[in-house]
Structure 1
């Protein structure tokens, strides 16, 4: 469950499909499991946390998952107004219903891109507040909490796409490694050896950066649109995972 972070935006394959950390975690789980592993991904880019919970939680629970991941709130903290306690309460709703359904919950924070973004200091403060609140709330049996927000390696520019907002292939591999380590699952060597991600081509100080990334984002906000409008989940049903790259 989630937004662009879990959908895998920034980690595009030559086929045009997206991969991302969640796909890679599924591969790692399949490689380490003695029984077949199936995986679904309901995340859609651009979503605030409330639509994530309202639109994805029940379909996710209907799949009868053993492990349910949730990461959300990143788009909320970038809006003009956000109520952090309300965001955490929505995450609690996911945790409560998933645990009641017999699933183990994987709770993640996203990586921290703020040192590379315009108005990054404001987003940093909000992100810190959300991460601190979630860290304090979700230390309970049945929940694995992976705090990518405070990973100093993940904050480096080399892990981010040209928009400085979405992780690239290297960043997604780092998150996958963090998750598998937290779950006590061996990390496939090809994840830790990834070096194929290129540095962002456009500096945030370059007018081209604002033209290609910032202005379209502002335009969507002013017109009430989202990058996820009209999109459906890339993997809405459980599909068997091959234990390989």
Structure 2
């Protein structure tokens, strides 16, 4: 879970070292920085732990997130499940068991789509089609659940740079500093539009 903010989550946020022209800050760190700069009483907690499956995120991080009492919770999850034996219905149920209590607590749930690694050319061709299908379904399920719960889905899966190999780290899985900058820009743009459309929220 990415930062849970009050007055304001989950991730592997490594940026793979310095990249000319980009701050070595993850999308979630950039988001936290932006909110803290405009709200003196802003507070956030980062519950991110790399490599967890959805049920592990729920079991380890849901209660601490709820105990914090956030106004907003940013969630980026499900990618590790999609890499394994993929069951869309199980994925939907596991994701719902994480997102629903957060939404019912009164927090605005913001889900973050995953970049389109499968179509980047970095995945061996024999695996790319199957991986693309899984991650397309993960994005569809995540977006649908977020909206059903009154939350917001950040559609980075279809971002213009989502399949650009230049946004990925040396491990060919996670984003580099350029990728994190692109993700943060998508988050900021989407949330700014939401704020304009829901001025009382």
Task: Give the TM-score of the pair, scaled to structure 1.
Answer: 0.66
1:184 to 192, 195, 200: 192
Compute the displacement of 1:44 (Å): 1.0
Matched position secondary structure for 1:154: coil
1:25 and 2:31 correspond = yes
Bigger Rg, structure 1 or 2 = 1
Compute the displacement of 1:161 (Å): 0.8
Could you say which structure has the higher helix fraction? 2
Matched position secondary structure for 1:138: helix
In 1, distance between residues paired with 2:58 and 2:17? 26
In 1, distance between residues paired with 2:17 and 2:108? 29
1:158 and 2:158 correspond = no
Checking the alignment, whether the CA contact within 8 Å between 1:6 and 1:21 is kept in structure 2 is no
Checking the alignment, whether the CA contact within 8 Å between 1:113 and 1:165 is kept in structure 2 is yes
1:49 and 2:61 correspond = no
1:95 and 2:103 correspond = no
Change beyond 3 A, Cα 1:133–1:162: same
Task: Name 2:199's counterpart in structure 1.
Answer: none
Compute the displacement of 1:49 (Å): 1.2
In 2, distance between residues paired with 1:19 and 1:7? 12
CA deviations on 1:35-74 (whole Å, 9 max, x unpaired) are 4222221111111111011111111111111111111110
How many residues align? The count is 178
Which sections of structure 1, spanning at least 5 residues, go unmatched? 186-245
CA deviations on 1:108-164 (whole Å, 9 max, x unpaired) are 111111131122221111111121222233323630111211112132111111121
Compute the displacement of 1:12 (Å): 4.3
1:75 and 2:80 correspond = yes
Checking the alignment, whether the CA contact within 8 Å between 1:47 and 1:75 is kept in structure 2 is yes
Compute the displacement of 1:8 (Å): 0.6
Task: Name 1:8's counterpart in structure 2.
Answer: 13
1:107 to 111, 127, 134: 111
Structure with more relative contact order (C-alpha pairs < 8 Å, separation 6 or more) = 1
Matched position secondary structure for 2:192: coil
Task: Give the TM-score of the pair, scaled to structure 2.
Answer: 0.80
Once superposed, what is the RMSD of the aligned Cα atoms? 2.2
Matched position secondary structure for 2:188: helix
